[in-house]
Amino acid sequence: MAGSKNHDYHILDPDIMPLMGALTALLMTSGLVLFMHDMPAGKIVFPLGIAGVLATMYLWWGKVVKEAHQGHHTPVVGLHLRYGMILFIASEVMFFVGWFWAFFDFSLFPSTISEVVAGQWPPKGVEAVLNAFDLPLLNTLILLCSGTTVTWAHHSLIHGDRDGLKKGLWATILLGLLFTSIQAYEYAAAPFPFGTNTYGSAFYMATGFHGFHVIIGTIFLIVCLKRTYNGDFTPKQHFGFEAAAWYWHFVDVVWLFLFVAIYVWGNWGHAVH
């Protein structure tokens, strides 16, 4: 009786995963620094760090899924998992706030940056910009549709419709892959490069990090699809899918702000490519 559980919390056993995650993250970031300084060791250390981080994520989240199957994710534990996801998304919001801040600072106060900008925005050297109402508008519609399909999948899951859940996830994943493909084509056809001026740097960093988040979200949904075929989710317990849906909606909302602020407002009145 002394060792019986009389609470709804999940007390974790000692595990090596946090230490492994810290060490592999250190290896990855150190390798990236070496790689950016063109040091030969970077070509070895950086890929090893990425592989270590991916392995840690696979093993650690695999244990979380196993704990859910074992019944450790009580309503109290599930509530705190949701708090954790909310805080994570809040940190991601602040991450993108930094890029928006940089873009607005560059565009609203161009004369204070450098002589290269010469008091205009987009700066000299950018002869043409991307047409906001061409591929960017198409990608906006694609992401809005994907937000609808992931909501369809969530609604189907809550009501026990496994077929609708699978179809909604498949549709969302395919739309995410289509968005990424169009963005890659847009980058290849862009009339300005990365890093030559503040406009190119701010544009590619903001939209590029968003594209990276779309890729992460697509992988997240692919994992949810695999778990759906395994029969993991139930109408009452499906936090893994819920977290993926939250993340995908966050990606959708960020893109709407990017489209309005960078593609429409930031390019207004300039020659388009």
Give the pLDDT confidence of 54-87 residue by residue, as tens digits. 999 999 999 999 998 888 888 899 899 999 999 9
Question: In the chain, which segments carry CATH 1.10.287.70?
Answer: 11-72
Q: Which CATH architecture has domain 11-72?
A: Orthogonal Bundle (1.10)
**Residue written as tokens 């963005």?**
183
| Residue intervals in the chain for CATH 1.20.120.80 | 74-265
Closest CA relative to residue 244, chosen from 157, 130, 185, 115: 157
The candidate with the shortest Cα–Cα distance to 200, out of 127, 138, 144, 139, is 127
The CA-based angle 7-231-168, given to 5 degrees, is: 110
pLDDT beyond 70 at 114:
no
Q: What does the block give as tokens for 162?
A: 């496994």
Q: How far apart are the first and last CA of the chain?
A: 74
What DSSP element (H or E) covers 216?
helix 198-229
74-265 is classed CATH 1.20.120.80: yes
Q: Does 89 have pLDDT greater than 90?
A: yes
Q: Encode pLDDT of 176-216 as tens digits.
A: 999 999 999 999 998 888 877 888 889 999 999 999 999 99
Write the CB contacts of 85 (distance below 8 Å, at least 6 apart in sequence).
Answer: 243, 246, 247
Amino acid of residue 56: T
Report helix, strand and coil shares of the chain as percent, to nearest 5: 70, 0, 25
**Do 172 and 221 contact (CB within 8 A), yes or no?**
yes
Q: Give the residue carrying structure tokens 């056809």.
A: 189
Highest mean pLDDT among 22-26, 68-72, 237-241: 22-26
Could you tell me the pTM of the whole model? 0.89
